[in-house]
Amino acid sequence: MALVLLCALAMPAGAAPLDAQAMWQLKRLGAPAISPDGRMAVLPVTSNDIEKNESRTSLWLVPTKPGKARQLTSDLWSDSTPTFSPDGELIAFVSKRAEDEQPQIYVIPVDGGEARRVTNVPTGAFAPKWFPDSQRVAFLTRVWPDLDTFEKMATRAQERKEQKMTAQVFERAPIAYWDRYLDGRETHIYAIDVEGGEPVPITRGSGYALDAAAPDRDSYDISPDGTEVAFAANVDPTGVEPNFDIFVIPAEGGVARNLTADNPAHDFAPLYSPDGRNLAFRRQEIRDFYADRVRLMIHERRSGRIRNLTGDWDRSVDGVVWAPDSGSLFGAIDDAGTRRVYRFDLSGSAPRAITGEPSFGSLAVAGNGPVIIGLRESFAEPPTLVSIIARTGAATKLTDFNDAALAQLSQGRYERVTYQGANGADIQMWVVYPPNFTPDRKWPLYLLLHGGPHNAITDGWHWRWNAQVFANWGYVTAWHNFHGSSGFGQAFADSITRDWAELPYEDTIKAAEWFAAQPWIDTERMAAGGGSFGGYLAAVLLGRPHPFKTLVAHAPVYNLFTQYAADYGAARRRHGEFWDDMERFARNSPHTAAGNFATPTLVIHGQSDLRVPVNHGIELFNVLQNRGVPSKLVYYPDENHWILKPQNSLFWYRTKREWLERYVRPGPGASATPAQVSDTDTGEAP
């Protein structure tokens, strides 16, 4: 067993608990952009109005050397995805303002002033990127393929808004994505003069479209000379075996050329080097497996050669940006429970970590040195803008949006633990202690079960399941990165393919045993809970022996057979088909062990959840009720896979806290539970 202390916090005298209300009052920082000379960053900053139950995002200018931040746009609207023009004079961003039916592209001078709308597209505009002349902006929009003008699209949009018939018809999968049904539109790249005018299509007419479900700025790029655009497009005609390839097309439109037709799996996120010689992109080699290791590929534009820059390196490449000299790239890598900044040299030398603890992400690079900026975060620090020295990894804090608030709030220390899990494998786990923790007392445990399953819990600030909030309730709170988690090598991630339940279940029981062996844990006060795959794992625990007095199952995958209704259901072939292996599906599906359910369980689900459809939560709750198991269902008619609205989130935290306190008494010194607002939840078994 290994234990590493990462953060010990001095609790300020008279500090208030970091509860959900306090957490929602913190500012939330988005991905920054950096000016061409590296001297300035532009940063989206989100504030939440709990009383109005809404959020607003404004843009702030921040010097990349310590200095005073300046608000660039007002709090009246939500502004996102900013990017500097190559000449450094303008910032383009996306906003939906009073006169806009759909989000549009706006520009604002760096020196300040009024923002000016550039696009007026009835289908909406997003993901802006500048052409090198600073006179044109590229953007994405979702258009109907059978209509050839925006005027016709505006007419159709209005007709659909006014019509009484609401049926949608599908002839191929996929039909949905997360919380919305797809409507037959295609995503295409357009360009527009910064002074306005008619958008010019780039990919429209090429025969290929960008991702209809989730296109973003990573899905395309513009060459440094402005003559070519690279983009990722799905070449699968069936809808059930997605395969994205990298295409290049003249900037004025025309014939698109496929660079990666030989790879049967995904190629995505094209990124031109500043000198224009190379095009970087990311690649997977196992079709339809999102946890397959992501390689960093380099396409040499002159020779046409493509090479794997990361070789057999057993980590996935993510969040990469080019160094200004085009000799290397930097990326924010999920690495054994921490997101570390790595450097990748074009020479092909081994990737090198330049940061250690804590986590870094949302990198941007420019200027001499070079100047690297990004968001630093940990279990004790919300995302904070920093500059990073490429040679040493030392970080300098650039923003203080949350410093005053955090200085008045109590947080617990946390540490990294390693224990032996299933098959004797090392399992990494985060442990967050209550602020007033002392080892001479007995404390309850709340063991969190992460989602994915191939998404490790890294040393970061988690807004939806905040361990510091749970610790402030008086619980030792832990996240364990069970078998299947990312960041621990491909074999570890792939170890649960086609057999979801067994290894994560064993790792969870071993985690509980590790805590039971600690003299400061009360084995009669242990709880566990999670969402998505974590909800699935909670449901697995329900049907098997476990030491937990209560469970929380948020958006749980309860019935693997009906999970075929998920947004990705038609493309889940890597897990096999139930008609070919009924026994395995039944063994891994929690619902088949319902005869063993006896643990009090809180079930939570949102109506708009299409990743794990709401029937799963309802099925689980109804079975618990049928068996007379104490249970409660919290149903959100206006939320999806996550609980995103401020007041809904506060109710989520409050209800969970009350539920835990009913079955697992909190530790000494825990603050009182806030008064419960009236609600309409009913049907709890006696």
Residue 684 confidence (pLDDT): 30
Rounded to whole angstroms, how far apart are CA atoms 511 and 683?
A: 33
Residue 428 confidence (pLDDT): 98
Residue 129 confidence (pLDDT): 98
CA distances from 463 to 47, 190, 456, 542, 642 (A): 13, 35, 15, 26, 11
Domain-wise residue ranges, the chain: 29-201, 410-663
Instruction: Look at the block and give the residue holding tokens 């079975």.
Output: 623
Q: Please name the helix (run of DSSP H) or strand (run of DSSP E) that holds residue 61, with its range, or none.
A: strand 54-63
Rounded to whole angstroms, how far apart are CA atoms 500 and 574?
A: 12
Structure tokens at 155: 């007419």
Residue 676 confidence (pLDDT): 42
**Long-range contacts: 89-93, Cβ < 8 Å, 24+?**
89/134, 90/134, 90/194, 91/33, 91/42, 91/59, 92/118, 92/128, 92/130, 92/137, 92/194, 93/59, 93/128
Residue 112 confidence (pLDDT): 86
Rounded to whole angstroms, how far apart are CA atoms 135 and 151?
A: 25
Fold adopted by 410-663: Rossmann fold (3.40.50)
Q: Reduced to 3 states, what is the DSSP secondary structure of residue 281?
A: strand
Residue 111 confidence (pLDDT): 94
Pairing of the two strands 521-531 and 443-449: parallel
Residue 5 confidence (pLDDT): 55
The low-confidence residues of the chain, meaning pLDDT below 50, are: 675-686
Buried b (16+ CB within 10 A) or exposed e, 314-341: ebbbbbbbbbbebebbbbbbbbbbbbbb
Alpha-carbon dihedral angle through residues 69, 72, 78, 83, given to the nearest 10 degrees: -90
Instruction: Residue count of the chain, please give it.
Output: 686
Sign of the CA dihedral running 348, 349, 350, 353: negative
Residue 681 confidence (pLDDT): 36
DSSP designation for 468: H
Q: Are 129 and 137 in contact (CB under 8 A)?
A: yes
523-582 pLDDT, tens digit per residue, is 999 999 999 999 999 999 999 999 999 999 999 999 999 999 999 988 877 778 999 999
> Within 13 Å, how many C-alpha atoms sit on residue 278's CB side?
23
Residue 670 confidence (pLDDT): 67
Cis ω for the linkage preceding 66 (within 30 of 0): no
> What CATH class is the domain 29-201?
mainly beta
Q: Give Cα 302 to chain centroid, integer Å.
A: 36
pTM of the model: 0.95
Residue 679 confidence (pLDDT): 39
